[in-house]
Amino acid sequence: MVRLARENDVAVLLLSQLSRESERRDDKRPLLSDLRESGTLEQVADAVFMVHQEWLYLNPESKHEEVKASYRKAFNVADLLVRKNKHGGRCDVKLSWNPMTATYRNASLKDRY
């Protein structure tokens, strides 16, 4: 696939399923090792991006006020996790999630639109 992409000068986007390992950890943010068949994907990928939505793991009906507050703060916010980038740095980017259009937008740019 890499050779085909180079010969035709096109980008290849591969979507992968995550294992359930991150759900067993306190910190639910996915790691490269959570990718299915992670060894092969890690070797051939130029970049690996993962999306994490913390609010999906919080209970808005909780009796604990700090959990409710965390949910409200995290609701419709996501992190784009740059876990690998051969041609640049690794970082996390805050995104805002719009469930009506199923789109993400850079949260730092949301006031510009």
pLDDT number for residue 98:
87
Instruction: Look at the chain and report how many structural domains it folds into.
Output: 1
pLDDT number for residue 79:
92
Those residues of the chain that have pLDDT short of 70 are: 38, 109-113
The domain in which residue 46 lies consists of 2-112
pLDDT number for residue 109:
64
pLDDT number for residue 110:
54
pLDDT number for residue 44:
81
**pLDDT tens-digit series, residues 16-46:** 888 888 888 888 899 988 887 767 777 888 8
pLDDT number for residue 8:
93
> CB neighbours of 83 closer than 8 A, spacing ≥ 6?
30, 31, 32, 48, 49, 50, 90
Amino acid at 27: D
Q: Is the pTM of this model over 0.85?
A: no
Rounded-to-integer distance, Cα 26 and Cα 35, Å: 18
pLDDT number for residue 73:
84
